[in-house]
A and B are shown apart, each in its own frame.
Chain A
Amino acid sequence: DAKTTQPPSMDCAEGRAANLPCNHSTISGNEYVYWYRQIHSQGPQYIIHGLKNNETNEMASLIITEDRKSSTLILPHATLRDTAVYYCIVSPNFGNEKLTFGTGTRLTIIP
């Protein structure tokens, strides 16, 4: 599985867009990019995933560069409840055998 690199921490003002970067320079053609988040010690929560096109859902947008070596998760209007650790994960599309969670980015939303 491709490894990912994320900044250890970020701050964002409440109401602003939070942009969380992720590098995955060794990603292979059949690997998807997933984003999950974990609030305190709750179970991780799925946010979004994509292969090569940009994706948007009710929670966030995912922007994947054309070469697929990096991506950005965008929370358009961050709220205090978005304070969490965000994990960027790459995983093959042929199964769900394992999600390899790194250390993620601790996002703090500031009032």
Chain B
Amino acid sequence: EAQVTQNPRYLITVTGKKLTVTCSQNMNHEYMSWYRQDPGLGLRQIYYSMNVEVTDKGDVPEGYKVSRKEKRNFPLILESPSPNQTSLYFCASSFSRGPYEQYFGPGTRLTVT
């Protein structure tokens, strides 16, 4: 089954404790992206990657890092999480360079206390 998976689905952590949210897709997509969703603000893009070793900032990249060492994986790293990064996070993937649909993961609900 074609899908985007994220782990963990739920995470409660404390300020400053480094964490990684994994994202994996099995559709051989070049393009992958991370969004965060907050009440009243909709989905906002954090980082995206057009292919392996190619990443770029989205609208709200501060406080986040990403890497794309393999085509299927695109982890989101919070080196020193803060309470304002409490949010619902979505990973997405698609083929690139065209009007292709994006497939979204199920989401990761992160709470930073």
Partner of B106, one of A34, A42, A46, A96: A42
Query: Would you call A65 an interface residue if the criterion is a C-beta within 8 Å of the partner chain's C-beta atoms?
Result: no
Binding site for B on A (CB under 8 A): 32, 34, 41-46, 49, 51, 91, 93-99, 101-104
A32 touches B99 (CB 8 A): yes
A-B contact count (CB 8 A): 66
B107 touches A98 (CB 8 A): no
Stretch at the interface among B14-22, B41-49, B72-80: B41-49
Q: A42 with B96: in contact, given A96-B31, A101-B43 (CB under 8 Å)?
A: no
Q: A44 with B43: in contact, given A96-B94, A97-B48, A98-B48 (CB under 8 Å)?
A: yes
Distance from B101 Cβ to chain A, minimum over Cβ atoms (Å): 4
Query: Would you call B86 an interface residue if the criterion is a C-beta within 8 Å of the partner chain's C-beta atoms?
Result: no
Which partner residue on chain B sits nearest A32 by CB separation?
B99
* C-alpha spacing A37/B52, complex, angstroms: 29
B100 touches A98 (CB 8 A): no
Which partner residue on chain A sits nearest B109 by CB separation?
A41
Q: A103 with B42: in contact, given A93-B98, A95-B96, A97-B48 (CB under 8 Å)?
A: yes
Distance from A64 Cβ to chain B, minimum over Cβ atoms (Å): 13
Q: Chain B's interface: helix, strand, loop or mixed, by majority?
A: strand
Partner of A96, one of B59, B102, B107: B102
Binding site for A on B (CB under 8 A): 4, 31, 33, 35, 37, 40, 42-43, 45, 48, 50, 56, 58-59, 88, 90, 92, 94-107, 109
Q: Chain A's interface: helix, strand, loop or mixed, by majority?
A: loop
Given contacts A44-B43, A98-B59, A103-B40, 20 further A-B contacts (CB under 8 A): A32-B99, A41-B109, A42-B107, A43-B92, A44-B102, A46-B101, A46-B102, A51-B99, A93-B98, A94-B98, A96-B98, A96-B102, A97-B48, A97-B50, A98-B45, A98-B48, A99-B43, A99-B92, A101-B35, A103-B42
Distance from A86 Cβ to chain B, minimum over Cβ atoms (Å): 13
Which partner residue on chain B sits nearest A95 by CB separation?
B97
Q: A49 with B104: in contact, given A43-B90, A102-B42 (CB under 8 Å)?
A: no
